Amino acid sequence: REALAVTARLCGPELERYGRCVAASPGSWHRDCHRLRDSVTRCASGHPLVRRIRRDCSDALGALER
């Protein structure tokens, strides 16, 4: 929950564009919105909380991506 709040605070415009893309492409968002998702990830990745989550949960996050 905190990571999402941090991401929304730091990366609001990127998150908004990604959300609009996902909503507009329900059947293909994972392909159509990939670059926008990466944009959100890059924006948020500098925050210490997000870095810690990515480090501590890398196995689970990798499984989720697959």
Quick check: helix, strand or coil at residue 57? coil
Mean pLDDT, rounded, of the chain: 88
The count of domains in the chain is 1
Measured torsion, CA atoms of residues 20, 57, 66, 19, in degrees rounded to the nearest 10: 0
Render pLDDT for 4-36 as a digit per residue (tens, 0 to 9).
888 888 899 999 999 999 999 999 999 999 999
Q: Between these two residues, 27 and 52, which has the higher pLDDT value?
A: 27
Domain range spanning residue 17? 1-65
Q: What is the pTM of this model?
A: 0.72
Helix residue ranges per DSSP H, the chain: 2-10, 12-24, 29-32, 34-44, 48-56, 58-65
Amino acid 48: pLDDT: 84
Amino acid 14: pLDDT: 94
Residue with tokens 């998702």: 37
Rounded average pLDDT over 45-65: 80
